[in-house]
Amino acid sequence: MPDSRLFYRPLRQAQRVLMPIAFLAATLLTAGCSNLGVKPWERDLLANPDMQLTVSGVDAGLDDHIYFSKEASSGGRGFGGGGCGCN
């Protein structure tokens, strides 16, 4: 049975950090996003493969695996890794 104090403390810390950011994101979404963006015929640059968020899935996969096995963090861009006994 984990110590409940130890369990909830980081949650509270996370909440303190996450709440303002979530609020900001929600505000940006509801208010800002409708004014942002481009018309369908202005997508020429965004359609360039170099403008994809992940240009090479292979590079990203290899790097994620290396950092997953060398650091205590993983994920963010996608699901949090796993799949090896290296950490």
Partner 1 sequence: MQLIDHSNNSKSKTVGRALAAATCALLGVHATGSLAKGQPGEWDVETALLVYSETDDRVQAAEPVISATRNFDGERKLNLKLVADTLTGASPSGATPSALPQTYTSPSGNGSYEIAPGEAPLDDTFKDTRVAVSANWEAPINRDYAYSVGAYGSKEYDYLSTAVNASLSRYLNNKNTTLTGGLSLGVDLVDPVGGAPVGLSRMPLNNNKSQADFDQEFAATRDSDDTKTMVDALFGVTQVINRQTLMQFNYGISYSSGYLTDPYKILSVIDDASGSNYGGNLVGGDGNPVYLYEQRPDTRLKHSLYWQTKYMLGNGDVMDGSYRFMIDDWGITSHTLDLKYRWQLGKSYLEPHFRYYLQSEADFYKRYLTASEYNSGAPVMTDASADYRLGEMTGLTFGAKWGYRFDDDRELAIRAEYLIQTNDGDQGFGSLASQDLYPDTNAMWLQLSYSF
Residues within the interface to partner 1 (CB under 8 A)? 2, 6-7, 9-11, 13-14, 17-18, 21-22, 25, 28-29, 33-34, 36-53, 55-59, 61-63, 65-67, 70-73, 75-80, 82-85, 87
Instruction: Quote the least distance from Cβ 57 to partner 1, whole Å.
Output: 6
Answer yes or no: are the C-beta atoms of 60 and 45 closer than 8 Å. Answer: no
Locate 12 and state its tokens: 């509270």
Instruction: Quote the least distance from Cβ 26 to partner 1, whole Å.
Output: 10
DSSP string, the chain: ---HHHHHHHHHHHHHHHHHHHHHHHHIIIIITTTSS--GGG-TTTTSGGGSSSS-HHHHHHHHHHHHHHSS---SSSS----STT-
Instruction: Quote the least distance from Cβ 60 to partner 1, whole Å.
Output: 11
Instruction: Quote the least distance from Cβ 62 to partner 1, whole Å.
Output: 5
